Amino acid sequence: MNLMITKKIMKRGWLKVMLKQQDQADGIRRMSKSKPVRVIAVASGKGGVGKTNVSVNVGISLVQMGQRVVLMDADMGLANVDILLGVYPKYNLSHVLAGEKTLDEIMVTAPSGLKLIPGASGIQKMTELSTIEQAAVIRAFSEIDQQIDVLIVDTAAGISASVVNFSRACQEIIIVICDEPTSLTDAYAFIKLLNRDYACNNFHIIANMVQTVQQGRALFQKLNKVTDNYLDVTLQFAGAIPYDEYLRESVKKQTPVVIGFPRSKSAQAMKSIATKIGNWPLKTQAGGYIEFFIERMVKYSQKDIA
Ligand SMILES: Nc1ncnc2c1ncn2[C@@H]1O[C@H](COP(=O)(O)OP(=O)(O)OP(=O)(O)O)[C@@H](O)[C@H]1O
Ligand SMILES: [Mg+2]
């Protein structure tokens, strides 16, 4: 009897060792297979300042530069990237979480070549996933990393836990501001929260709906002055996008401005921002791989409910 128990324990011990080795082997295989992907969050604090238009148009511009780009709609309340792109996805991330679809099956490719991961309320379920489900989601994302160069995460308005978790899981954070006092105070509040609570200290700023590039730069400097005085952060000016009726028109037509009005001022600005992003140094250390983004996202949301 005792001998049997000892054997069982030994067996379990071996099993544990074997499983651990298998885990490590999987990890190494994954690492050697995967390549760094730029994972960029687009946030703002205040709503309606142009996050989704920036995500879509900068994303398409990157596609036009030869990059393979996936845009993830992380706005759970008002998922609207599909509307701007004029595509009608049947499935979303909740179907991947439920194990009904693979990530490849839910991704929709817009005519511009930009790929979309439709968000919907499924993402919120990240907080309720079991360890096995989490692993499945992470695997689903690791499998697409061969096919993409950039993942853009369009977040919702506000500074809810979900927006914060998405943003801090990304390697790069773009904050869109416009010339309104509440846009600056909300952007500041968001930066402060990410810096104070999560040690994020690098942010890229895009000034949208400005009259001139100078006005955009002045807006950036206004925000930079306050963060310099009170926080330990570095803000970088990623560019300015003029207020442009063509952009409004493109929203109505459900055709992104860089496609519908490629010579318009806003389209030109989107393209030069994309060129800048294309020149950002690629982060190759841990965290530059897409599965780490998802791992972090799952981990952070788990902490939230703990
Ligand atoms: N450069 C611009 N010129 C003119 N209008 C603009 C510009 N950028 C954005 N807009 C207007 O602002 C509206 C909101 O833009 P968008 O949906 O991209 O903002 P958002 O930050 O994603 O909003 P939300 O916080 O609700 O997600 C657009 O429908 C458009 O009418
Ligand atoms: Mg939006």
Best residue among 247, 253, 254 to mutate for probing ligand 1's pocket (most ligand atoms within 8 Å of CB) is 247
CA of 154 to the centre of ligand 2 (A): 7
CA 47 to ligand 1: nearest atom: 25
Which structure tokens are listed for 275? 């060129």
For the CA of 269, the nearest atom of ligand 1:
1
Domains, the chain, ordered by start: 38-305 (3.40.50.300)
87-144 residue pLDDT tens: 889 998 778 777 788 888 899 999 899 999 987 655 556 555 666 666 666 777 777 7
Q: Please classify residue 297 by burial: count the beta carbons closer than 10 Å to its beta carbon, then call 0-12 exposed, 13-18 middle and 19+ buried.
A: buried
Measured from the CB, is residue 253 less than 6 Å from ligand 1?
Answer: no
Question: Which tens digits make up the pLDDT trace of 52-95?
Answer: 999 999 999 999 999 999 998 887 666 688 888 888 899 987 78
75 CB under 6 A from ligand 1?
Answer: yes
With a 6 A CB cut-off, is 50 part of the ligand 1 pocket?
Answer: yes
Paired residues of 153 in beta bridges: 41, 72
Distance from Cα 86 to the centre of ligand 2, integer Å = 15
Q: Against a cut of 0.75, is the pTM above it?
A: yes
Q: Give dist(CA 64, CA 89) in Å, integer.
A: 23
Residue bearing tokens 């791989």: 289
305 within 8 A of 165, measured Cβ to Cβ? no
Ligand 1 close to Cβ of residue 243 (< 6 A): yes
Question: Half-sphere exposure of residue 169, counting CA atoms within 13 Å on the CB side?
Answer: 26
Ligand with the closest atom to the CA of 73: 2
d(CA 62, CA 259): 13
Q: CA-CA distances (angstroms) from residue 303 to 7, 57, 290?
A: 38, 34, 20
In 34-147, where does DSSP find H-type helix? 51-64, 81-85, 93-97, 103-106, 131-144
Dihedral angle sign, alpha carbons of residues 214, 220, 221, 223: positive
Q: Which atom of ligand 1 is nearest to the CA of 251?
A: 29
pLDDT on residue 260 = 97
pLDDT at 302 over 60: yes
